[in-house]
Every structure is written in C-alpha cells, then in structure tokens.
Structure 1
C-alpha cells in the first residue's frame, strides 16, 4: 500500500518510535510520544498504538508505574543499528522536535510550583528553581486564598527568572543611609 509520507509500514513506524525514544532525556507519556511521532504525514493513530504496544510486548520499551514510556537497552541497540534506514528528512524533523521536547521537560523539572492548605484556611505556595548544580531558589509564601496561590504559581512558572532577579535585587540593594536628625 502506497500512502503519503515516508513511513510506509509498521516496521518503519516502530523504528521511528525507537529513534525518538532513544533521544529523549527522560520517560514521556503516551500523548507526548504520539505528538513527536507525527513528524510524518503517513502516521496513523491506530497503527501507532499497535506498534507502541508491540514494542512494549517485545521489551524494546517499558511503561513505568506513572504510564511513562522509556526505551530499554534492547530498544537502544536496535535503534542504533537501524536508524539509518529512516529517511533523512524524517530524522532531521524528529531531532528538532525531540530537542525542543527535551528542553521543555528540563525546564519543567527545574521550575516547580505547588500550593497546600494551612490549618487556618490560608495557603502555602512553594516555588522552586533549580539548575544542574542544585537549588537556585526555594521560597514558601503564605497567601490568603487558593485563587491567589494559583495565580502566584502561574506567574512564577511563566517567568521564574524575573522573581529570582527581583529577590536578589532586594537582598543585594545597598542599605539606605541613615539620616541624622539634629535636636
């Protein structure tokens, strides 16, 4: 069967899935893997699901307790051996998409925000910013309502560097000179 796109059969689709998962920096959910696989117009959802299930069954991929997919050593070996059979243009698109996905996942790991209720009805918002060396900023703040907590989380997740810079600006600002008063 000839169809549009470069991926023409299930074997090529399995190789594409292995190619993608071999380049990911961490386990990913089904939906993300499906999105990354859509780099070719010939990909069919049901065929993708069937191939993914078969790759798990044959132990090329594993699914963890959180339903995240990870490539196995067997999958890595087979991907490495067969990657050159995938069309170059498909590999280039995959590499670009996977690189962006890895960046996004890294940022999500480095920037975290959550909130929890307190006994008095207020909420504690926890904001954390890390890098490769460890914690950069860890801040717990009390807010009055859950809506405020959600707003603080949203703003922090959108621009964590801004909060970090403002906190440093306040902490590193020169002390104001005391004004002497004469009696």
Structure 2
C-alpha cells in the first residue's frame, strides 16, 4: 500500500523528464523512475531476463547477461506484436516494483516518473496528480539528436508513436514548460515543489 501522496511525472522523448526528476530529488523528494526499474529488470541477473530469453531467444541477451536493448528496440519498432509481448512481460514487474518502492517512501509526497503515464490506467490509478514536462517539438528533436546520434527522421518517427503533445497537455493536472535552460527548469521545479508541499498536505489532512 502506498503511504504517501504521489505526483506522476511524464513527458515525451527529449522533454527533460530525467532532469526534472533530478531537481525534485535535490529538494529531498523520493523519486521512483520506471525507466530505472526497467533497466534493473533487464540488467545482468535481472529477474525479467529468463522470461525474455525464453520468449525472444538467446540472441537478445548480451554476453554479460543483460538485454540487448538495441536489438530489442529494432525488433519492437518493426513488429508491434513483439512490443506487446515485451510489455506483457515487463510492465507488470515494473508496476510491482514501483508500488514496492512507493510503499517505503517517506515525506509529504513522492514523484513517480512514467513516460507512458497517460496511456496506462494502472499508473494513473496510483498517482494523485499528474505533472507534464513539456517543450516545443523542435526543441525535443534537437535534444534527442544531440544526445543519441539519431537522425531527425528517426527522432520524428519515434515521436509519431507517442501520444500527441496536445493530448498530454489536456490530460495533465500541472505543466512545466522546459523549452528553456536547465536553470529555468530548476526554478520551475522548486515552485512546483512548494506548491505540492502545500496542496498535497492539505489533501492528505482532509
């Protein structure tokens, strides 16, 4: 059982979710990142690996025992059915580990980072508020190209598979515009932190 109020943090690729989460952590907030949990499950010795190897074959396991994420990414991009099978294995484990981490959290609230928050009713049922880290589409493209080495067409193809930005903005309780600098993002996170300390504490007492 989750013992704290939970803010669900989400955003499209290149929006700055990780940086925002890092600034919340700097405020002393417990941050549970589903991407990090996924990496742990697919790392050498990760508890998802036996099921993944059984389903997709040993070619998808690196020599060190971890998931070959590049090979898997290429497969699921080509075959939607493979994506669904991968998600059927990983998503229940990630949700279980998320709930376990949140159950241990202390403080006024915790932040749960979920890239596909609005697409997943299971996670939406866990969170008390949703926070979208948003930015201009051209900024997204430039950031992802710079950090990943992907071409513009590859980045735009990935973005096309995600929920439209406009729909996310409509669904979000709160929005941070991260089209600017990291210092501007940090100031916005600090403001949201003060707001959550106040508003979530009131909600908890009611």
TM-score, normalised by the number of residues in structure 1? 0.27
Rg comparison, structure with higher value: 1
TM-score, normalised by the number of residues in structure 2? 0.24
Higher relative contact order (CA 8 A, sep 6+): 2
Higher helix share: 2
Higher strand share: 1
